């Protein structure tokens, strides 16, 4: 599978969403999904990160431009995975993710 690194970062806002409800299930390598939140009052290009039905937070504002554009035009080409889990640190640094650009057919 062809893949190109897009970025890696901590999940922004993890403290405020549903991460605590699924934290024990979050493992390195788990696949995450993304959803645009264009009506977000803090960021018009907000991209939320989900684990199954649980909203974990957002791609940080300073990282989300390319993700927003890819999702906005309907390209299913982002493979986002959990890269690090650390329950001993501040909640905003407990989950780190990595994102790759992949062929849309390979992201199913």
Identify the band that residue 108 occupies on the pLDDT scale cut at 50, 70 and 90. Answer: low
pLDDT of residue 86: 96
Instruction: Provide the CATH topology of domain 3-107.
Output: Alpha-Beta Plaits (3.30.70)
Every domain of the chain and the residues it spans: 3-107
pLDDT of residue 104: 60
- On the question of pLDDT at 79 being above 60, the answer is yes
The predicted model scores a pTM of: 0.92
| Adjacent-strand bridge partners of 34 | 49
Distance (Å, whole) CA 56 – CA 48? 8
């Amino acid at each position: 599978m062809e893949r190109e690194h897009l970025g890696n970062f901590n999940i922004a806002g993890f403290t405020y969403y549903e991460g605590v409800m699924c934290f024990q299930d979050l493992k390195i390598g788990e696949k995450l999904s993304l959803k645009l939140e264009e009506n977000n009052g803090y960021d018009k290009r907000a991209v939320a990160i989900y684990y199954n039905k649980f909203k974990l937070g957002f791609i940080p504002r300073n990282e989300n431009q390319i993700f927003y554009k890819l999702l906005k035009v309907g390209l299913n080409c982002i493979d986002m995975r959990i890269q690090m889990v650390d329950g001993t640190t501040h909640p905003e640094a407990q989950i780190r993710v990595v994102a790759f650009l992949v062929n849309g057919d390979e992201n199913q």
